[in-house]
């Protein structure tokens, strides 16, 4: 059983293929409101006029997700200089995300898409019953439109890829 759980955990954070159609660059990003790891609501309305990265990850505290989060943590100052906020999103409950933030020292908020609604709207899942979202990201502009959609994400290199696109 333990071997099965380890395999399931590793599978959850492997680079997952996109199972649904992603939003096109230039498309309006859907309105959303999600709870962060501190139990506070965060919404697209709160972020109007700001640029932000929304990166979906399959499961907190698993190898690939930790690597991706650490890459964002290490690049956090560079994103801040460019006035780009970072938000990680998963289906994990806020308490699990809070442990992830505390364990890894993330300086950004992790959001819980508990009803899988946003994930379905933006192509992170093909069906609301899907257990884990695909590892995808969006760079959203101050106008609320998709500046860049990332369907294929390498956990260790993704933060640098986005920073390269911001230059």
Q: Is the pLDDT of residue 9 over 70?
A: no
Cα–chain center distance at 25: 17
Output the pLDDT for position 5: 39
Q: What is the pLDDT of residues 105-163, one digit of tens each?
A: 999 999 999 999 999 999 999 988 899 999 999 999 999 999 999 999 999 999 999 99
Euclidean distance between CA atoms 128 and 109, whole angstroms: 23
Output the pLDDT for position 12: 45
Domain count, the chain: 1
pLDDT band at 2 (very low <50, low <70, confident <90, very high): very low
For 86-116, b/e burial (b = at least 16 CB within 10 A) is bbbbbbbebebbbebbeebebebbbbbbeeb
Domain around 93: 2-166
Output the pLDDT for position 167: 78
Average pLDDT, the chain: 90
CATH number of the domain within which 159 lies:
3.40.30.10
| pTM for the predicted model, two decimal places | 0.88
């Amino acid at each position: 059983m333990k071997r099965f759980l380890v395999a399931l955990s590793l599978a959850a954070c492997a680079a997952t293929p996109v199972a649904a159609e992603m939003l096109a660059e230039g498309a309006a990003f859907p309105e959303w409101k999600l709870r962060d790891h501190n139990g506070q609501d965060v919404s697209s309305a709160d972020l109007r006029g700001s640029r932000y990265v929304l990166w979906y990850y399959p499961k907190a505290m698993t190898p690939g997700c930790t690597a991706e989060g650490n890459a964002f943590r290490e690049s956090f100052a560079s994103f801040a200089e460019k006035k780009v906020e970072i938000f990680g999103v998963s289906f994990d409950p806020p308490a699990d995300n809070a442990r992830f933030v505390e364990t890894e020292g993330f300086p950004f908020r992790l959001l819980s898409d508990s009803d899988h609604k946003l994930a379905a709207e933006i192509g992170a899942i093909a069906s609301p019953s899907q257990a884990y979202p695909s590892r995808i990201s969006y760079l959203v502009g101050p106008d609320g439109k998709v500046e860049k959609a990332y369907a294929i994400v390498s956990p260790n290199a993704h933060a640098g890829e986005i920073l390269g696109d911001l230059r």
